[in-house]
Amino acid sequence: MKLGFSRAEEDFRAECAAWLKGQMAGEFADIKGITTLTAKAERRKEWEQQLAAHKWSCIGWPEEWGGRNASLAQQVIFAEEYARAGVPGRVNHIGIELAGPTILAFGTDEQKKRFLPGIAAGQTIFCQGFSEPDAGSDLASVRTKARLEGDKWVVNGQKIWTSLAHISDWIFVVSRSEEGSKGPKGLTFLMMPLDQPGIDVRGIKQINGDAEFNETFFTDATCPADSLIGAVGGGWQIAMGLLAFERGVSTLGQQMGFRNELDAIIAAAKANGSANDPLIRQRIAKAEIGLRLMRYGALRMLSNTDHSKIDGAALTYKIQWATWRRNLGELAMDVLGQMGEVTDNPEYEWDMLPNLFLFSRSDTIYGGTNQIQRNMIAERALGLPREPRGDV
Amino acid sequence: MEFAFTEEQAMIAETAKAFFAENATSERTRKAMANDGVDRELWANFCTELGLSGVGIDEALGGAGLGMVEFAIIAEAAGAQVAAVPMLGLAMVARALAAGGSDAQKAEWLPKLISGEAIAACEGMPSLDFDGATLTGVIDPVPHGAVADLFVFVSPQGAWIVRADAPGVAITAHTTMDQTRPFARVTLDKAAAEPLADAGAAIAAIHQGGWICLAAEALGGAQACLDRTVAYAKERIQFGRPIGSFQAYKHRLADMMIEIEQARSAVYWAACAADEGAEDAAMALHAAKSFCADTYFMCAGNMIQLHGGIGFTWEHDAHLFFKRARSIQTMLGNGNMHREQVAMMVLGEAA
pLDDT at B240: 94
| Closest Cα in chain B to A266 | B347
Longest dimension (CA), chain B: 72
The 3-state DSSP class for residue B134 equals strand
Whether A290 contacts chain B with CB within 8 A: yes
Alpha helices in A134-209 (DSSP H): none
pLDDT band for A96, please (50, 70, 90 cuts): very high
**Residue A384 is nearest to which of B230, B272, B273, comparing CB atoms?**
B230
Closest of B150, B147, B141, B37 to residue B83, by C-alpha:
B37
The alpha carbon of residue B187 is apart from the nearest alpha carbon of chain A, in Å, by: 35
Give A112 to chain B, closest Cα distance, Å: 31
B254 touches A: beta carbon within 8 Å: yes
A110 vs A101: CA distance, rounded Å: 15
The mean per-residue pLDDT over the stretch B163-172 comes to 98
Contacts of B351 in chain A (CB under 8 A): 273, 276
Q: What is the pLDDT of residue A82?
A: 94
Tell me which chain B residue has its CA closest to the CA of residue A319. B258
Domain locations along chain A: 7-91, 126-233, 247-381
| Chain A residues with beta carbon closer than 8 angstroms to that of B222 | none
Task: Report the alpha-carbon distance of residue A337 to residue A270 in Å, rounded.
Answer: 13
Annotation marks residue A97 as catalytic: no
Cα angle: B52, vertex B193, B144; to 5 degrees: 45
d(CA B52, CA A337) in angstroms, rounded, equals 54
Residue B103 confidence (pLDDT) above 90:
yes
Task: Please state, for a pLDDT cut of 70, what percent of chain A lies above it.
Answer: 99
**Residues of chain B neighbouring A292 (CB-CB closer than 8 A):** 269, 280, 283-284, 287
Under the banding of pLDDT at 50, 70 and 90, the label for residue A2 is: very high
Q: Are B56 and B68 in contact (CB under 8 A)?
A: yes
Which CATH number among 1.10.630.10, 1.20.140.10, 3.40.50.10490, 3.40.50.2300 corresponds to the domain A247-381? 1.20.140.10
Amino acid A390: pLDDT: 79
CB contact set of B333 (below 8 Å; sequence gap of 6+): B211, B289
Query: Of the residues A9, A15, A46, A246, which is catalytic?
Result: A246
Residues on chain A touching B343 (C-beta within 8 angstroms): 281-282, 284-285
The answer, yes or no, to whether residue A237 has pLDDT greater than 80, is yes
| Beta-bridge mates of residue A172 | A128, A191
Cα end-to-end distance, chain A, whole Å? 50
Residue A208 has pLDDT above 90, yes or no: yes
Q: What is the pLDDT of residues B217-260, one digit of tens each?
A: 999 999 999 999 999 999 999 999 999 999 999 999 999 999 99
Q: Calculate what percentage of chain A has a pLDDT beyond 90.
A: 82
Distance CA B153, CA A39 (A): 61
- pTM for this predicted structure: 0.95
| Class level of CATH domain B200-350 | mainly alpha
Flag if A289 and B251 touch (Cβ within 8 Å).
no
Q: What are the residue ranges spanned by the domains of chain B?
A: 200-350
**CATH T-level assignment (fold) for domain A126-233:** Butyryl-CoA Dehydrogenase, subunit A; domain 2 (2.40.110)
**Residues in chain B within 8 Å Cβ distance of A286:** 339
Contacts of B9 in chain A (CB under 8 A): 1
- Asked if the peptide bond before residue A278 counts as cis, ω within 30 degrees of 0, the response is no
Helix or strand (DSSP H, E) at A289: helix A278-303
For A382, which of B257, B290, B346 is closest by C-beta distance? B257
DSSP letter string over A238-270?
Answer: HHHHHHTT--STTHHHHHHHHHHHHHHHHHHHH
Query: Chain A 92-151, CB below 8 Å of chain B: which residues?
Result: none
* Nearest CB neighbour to B273, from listed A3, A381, A388: A3
Q: Which of B3, B76, B291, B345 to mutate to test the interface with A (most CBs of A within 10 A)?
A: B3
B25: which residues sit within 8 A by CB, 6+ positions away? B81
Is A276's CB within 8 Å of B351's CB?
Answer: yes
- Least CB-CB distance to B266: which of A9, A275, A293? A293
Interface mutation target, options B1, B12, B223, B262, chain A, most CBs of A under 10 Å:
B1
Q: Is the pLDDT at B292 greater than 90, yes or no?
A: yes
Q: CB contact, 8 Å: B269 with chain A?
A: yes
Interface probe for B, chosen from A301, A305, A315, A382 (most Cβ of B below 10 Å), is A382
The pLDDT value given to residue A8 = 93
User: Is the distance from CB of B292 to CB of B76 less than 8 angstroms?
Assistant: no
Q: Going by DSSP bridges, is the β-strand pair B134-143/B183-192 parallel, antiparallel, or unpaired?
A: antiparallel
> What residues of chain B lie within 8 A of the CB of A320, using their CB?
258, 261-262
How far does A137 lie from chain B, in Å, by closest CA?
A: 15
**Residue B187 one-letter amino acid:** T
Give the count of alpha carbons within 13 A of A342, CB side only.
5
pLDDT at res. A35: 77
pLDDT at residue A247 tops 70: no
**In sequence order, what E strands does B33-130 have?**
120-124, 129-130
CA distance B298 to chain A (A): 16
- The verdict on B242 touching A (C-beta cutoff 8 Å) is yes
**Quick check: A380 contacting B, CB < 8 Å?**
no
CB-based contact (8 Å) between B305 and chain A? no
Task: Provide the pLDDT for residue A392.
Answer: 63
Considering the four listed CATH numbers 3.30.420.40, 3.30.70.20, 1.10.540.10, 3.10.129.10, the one that applies to the domain covering A7-91 is 1.10.540.10
Cα B83 from Cα B52, distance rounded (Å): 15
Cβ contacts (< 8 Å) between A72 and chain B: which residues?
A: 1
- Predicted pLDDT at B28: 98
Residue A152 has pLDDT above 80, yes or no: yes
Q: Determine, for residues B257 and A381 on separate chains, whether the beta-carbon distance falls below 8 Å.
A: yes
Cβ of A379 within 8 Å of Cβ of B250? The answer is: yes
Distance from CA of A144 to the nearest CA of B (A): 30
Using DSSP, how many helices (H) and how many strands (E) does chain A show?
13, 8
Q: What is the mean pLDDT of residues A321-337?
A: 98
Q: Is the per-residue pLDDT at A37 higher than 80?
A: no
Q: Which of A76, A285, A381 sits opposite B339 (nearest CB)?
A: A285
Return all residues near B197 (Cβ < 8 A) that are at least 6 apart.
B100, B101, B102, B105
- For position A137, what pLDDT does the model report? 87
Q: Using a CB-CB distance cutoff of 8 angstroms, which residues of chain B are in contact with residue A282?
A: 336, 339-340, 343
The mean of the pLDDT values for chain A is 93
B13: contact with A, CB 8 A cutoff: no
Cβ–Cβ under 8 Å, residues B159 and B199: yes
